[in-house]
Amino acid sequence: MRILFLGDIVGSPGVEFVKSALPVLRARENIDCVIANAENASAGSGMTPRTYRQLRQAGIDLVTMGDHIYKKLEITSVLGEDDRICRPANYPPEAPGRSFVLAALPNGVTVAAFCVLGRTYMRPVDCPFKAADAALAALAGQAKIVIVDAHAEATADKYLLAHHLKGRVAAVLGTHTHVPTADEQILPGGTAFQCDVGMCGPYDSILGRRIDRVLSTAISFVPSAFDVATGDVRLSGAIIDVDDATGKATAIRRIIVDERTLAHWNAVP
């Protein structure tokens, strides 16, 4: 079966583009399951229940979050009630939300996903390796296919997690840094890996935010509102082929859809 994993969806430009591109991409690539990191979906930081519903309606089966998870506190009601969205697995037990999520798909296959945060240049959290082990132990027997969102600042954190989990999960896919890396590979044991799958949002930006605002603050140290940018919106992620009998990945491919590509697909179906 084929899984599409989307990197951080940023602001309304990212949400709107995913809403228009995803149905087309799903059909063109015969995607069976879509997983997305949506920690930046509402105004660039956090996600509201309304945005969550929009993303689910757009065809996203499972949603992971990251360090921005509680920036829109309204999401805690969804985190408590809905079983398709999870919080980082290495947050403390008191943190609202589930440590992993499951989707029973129409093709009869169940896919699981969870997210862990890195610890380098980020707020201190529990051990991502131990948290991943605990999530896998809790998932035992529930899903053959497990996808892990490695939400980390440092590339080494993501490589370490991928090698810790190789042969035990279908894929370890990086998010949080918003810039796609060209290192997709299948690790020994059938684990697909890409250090960062890129963001779904405006690329004419500084990681999704207005260039003028971020640049002026970086130079002058005077704070400004880092509003979400608008130009050159792209969907970015990875497509992973998984053997549903074994839960092992057989292929990984980077996918980027920009506005021109989507317009072409819509003009020439």
Task: Considering the complex, state which of residue 153 and residue 258 has its C-beta at the smaller distance from Fe ion.
Answer: 153
By beta-carbon proximity to Fe ion, the closer residue of 21 and 115 is 115
Q: How far apart are CA 174 and CA 155, in angstroms?
A: 9
Exposure string (b/e) for 238-264, b if CB count within 10 Å is 16 or more? bbbbbebeebbbeebebbebbeeebee
Q: Which residues are CB-neighbours of 264 under 8 A, at least 6 positions away?
A: none
Instruction: Name the one residue in this structure whose structure tokens are 């991502």.
Output: 128
C-beta closer to Fe ion: residue 187 or 228 = 228
Q: Is the dihedral of CA 57, 22, 139, 67 positive or negative?
A: negative
Residue 64 Cβ, how far from Fe ion at the closest point, in Å?
11
Residues 95, 78: Cα–Cα separation, whole Å: 13
Burial 21-38 (b: 16+ CB within 10 A, else e): bbeebbeeeebbbbbbbb
Question: Smallest distance, Å, CB 44 to Fe ion?
Answer: 9
> Residue 202, interface with Fe ion (CB under 5 A)?
no
**Site for Fe ion (CB under 5 A): which residue of 72, 176, 210, 234?**
176
177 is a contact residue toward Fe ion (CB under 5 A) = no
Which of 61-69, 90-98, 185-193, 243-251 is the region at the interface with Fe ion (rule: CB under 5 A)? 61-69
Query: Does the annotation mark 68 as catalytic?
Result: yes
| Two tokens, residue 97 | 């939300």
* CA separation for the pair 186, 163 (Å, rounded): 11
Q: Is 7 in the site for Fe ion (CB under 5 A)?
A: no
From the CB of 107, what's the least distance to Fe ion, in Å? 30
Q: Which position among 32, 61, 67, 149 is part of the footprint of Fe ion (CB under 5 A)? A: 67
Count the site residues for Fe ion by CB under 5 A.
5
8 binds Fe ion (CB under 5 A): yes
Our CB check for Fe ion shows the closer of 32 and 149 to be 149
Position 208 contacts Fe ion (CB under 5 A):
no
Of 117, 137, 14, nearest in space to 65 by CA:
117
**Any contact of residue 40 with Fe ion (CB under 5 A)?**
yes
Catalytically active residues, by annotation: 68
Tell me which residues touch Fe ion (CB under 5 A).
8, 40, 66-67, 176
